[in-house]
Amino acid sequence: MVKIVELKVLDCSDLVCPLPVAKTKKMLNSMQNSEILEVKGDFSEAGENIKRFAESHGHKVVEFKLEGENYSIIIKKK
């Protein structure tokens, strides 16, 4: 049996730090363990900060992409 997991998406476009990290934290706090969150934005420093935040809080960064200033991070909540 295959378990289907809903992917939650958080768009942080046009936001600069600390807002993307704060919004990511709030979203993760509202999620159940093992749920998946994708965070997208267009300020690369925020992407790096979100990645560090997630890892330092025990979440798994499944994927991290940077293309110019655009970023996409897939996080599995611990």
Provide mean pLDDT across the span 58-69. 98
**How far apart (Å, rounded) are the C-alpha atoms in residues 38 and 24?**
9
* Residues 19-42, mean pLDDT to the nearest whole number: 98
Catalytic residue, candidates 15, 17, 27, 31:
17
3-state secondary structure of 45: helix
Residue 36 to residue 76: CA distance in whole angstroms = 5
Token reading at 12: 């942080």
Q: Cα separation of 3 and 39, whole Å?
A: 22
* CATH numeric code, 7-76: 3.30.110.40
Instruction: Out of 3-17, 32-46, 48-62, pick the least confident.
Output: 3-17
Catalytic residue at 12?
no
For the chain, domain boundaries: 7-76
**The model's pTM:** 0.92
